[in-house]
Amino acid sequence: MNTLRDLYIDELKDLWSAEKQLIKALPKMAKAANDPELSKAFMTHLRETERQVERLEQVFEELGESPRGKKCIGMEGLIEEGQELLKEKPDPDVLDAGLIAKAQHIEHYEIAGYGTVRTYAQLLGAERQAQLLQQTLDEEGKTDKLLTQLAESSINIEAATAEGDEEEEETTRGARGRSEREVSRRTTVEGGRGGARGGGRGRSGGRAKETESTAR
């Protein structure tokens, strides 16, 4: 890798690998999402990603290069983070908020990548390639803004409410447990007192009968 063109091709291969990995991951994210608008957003971005791969392949064709030969480790790690979130099995609303966070990590990664290769294309005088890459960069930016809108308008709010509900439920369970223990304690104490009173009456009765017998 001795020239800017070499670096440009290497970065393009990284993006092609990233997009191919994302095509496999997005349907799983859409299926896991509980909010229908979020699920729809993931599927819409899946179709966009498929077109983005086609644009990259057009760029490679113009360059006379193959997109294969490199695996994007960055995207692999981001997708693995999303899988770890699913394994945690969080509250549904919290899961949706987490999915948005993971998806925006991916979007920001891609925005940085496409911004870089677009600039390289411009410096190398490849204006058509720069336009194709800018088109994808614009799409990534719109997706990121849509995810932010979904998060701020409803999903993050619902996740915060879910946390409050959980705390309230925990408080209620604690109060109920204390109440049940108090009832049990009172029952035990009162039972003991009743037994003591019953025993006392028995002993007194016994002494009365003994006195009466002696008198006769």
Q: At what angle do helices 36-63 and 127-150 cross, to 10 degrees?
A: 170
Classify residue 195: in a domain, yes or no.
no
Which whole number is the average pLDDT over 4-9? 98
Q: What is the pLDDT of residues 50-66, one digit of tens each?
A: 999 999 999 999 999 99
Q: Average pLDDT, whole number, for the chain?
A: 85
The per-residue DSSP string of 47-77 comes to HHHHHHHHHHHHHHHHHT--S-S---HHHHH
Q: Which two tokens stand for residue 18?
A: 């990233």
**CA separation for the pair 22, 34 (Å, rounded):** 20
* CA contacts within 13 A on the Cβ side of 112: 9
Classify residue 103: in a domain, yes or no.
yes
Q: 8 and 120 in contact (C-beta within 8 Å)?
A: yes
Full domain range(s) for residue 80 = 4-169
Q: What is the pLDDT of residue 4?
A: 98
Contacts by 178-181, CB closer than 8 A, 24 or more apart:
none
Q: What is the pLDDT of residues 137-171, one digit of tens each?
A: 999 999 999 999 999 999 999 999 876 555 544 54
Run of H or E including 79? helix 73-88
CATH code, domain with 36? 1.20.1260.10
Classify residue 212: in a domain, yes or no.
no
Classify residue 205: in a domain, yes or no.
no
Q: What is the pLDDT of residues 70-119, one digit of tens each?
A: 999 999 999 999 999 999 999 999 999 999 999 999 999 999 999 999 99
Report how far apart, in Å, the C-alpha atoms of 153 and of each of 38, 106, 108, 157 are.
12, 21, 20, 7
Q: 50 and 131 in contact (C-beta within 8 Å)?
A: no
Classify residue 202: in a domain, yes or no.
no
Work out how many domains the chain is built from and give that number. Answer: 1
Report how far apart, in Å, the C-alpha atoms of 141 and of each of 146, 167, 174, 197 are.
9, 37, 47, 82
Helix residue ranges per DSSP H, 91-215 = 92-123, 127-150, 156-215
Classify residue 191: in a domain, yes or no.
no
Q: What is the pLDDT of residues 35-53, one digit of tens each?
A: 999 999 999 999 999 999 9
* pTM summary value: 0.74
Classify residue 51: in a domain, yes or no.
yes
User: Which of the four pLDDT bands, split at 50, 70 and 90, describes residue 183?
Assistant: very low
Tokens 């911004």 belong to: 115
Q: Which two tokens stand for residue 89?
A: 């099995």
Classify residue 45: in a domain, yes or no.
yes
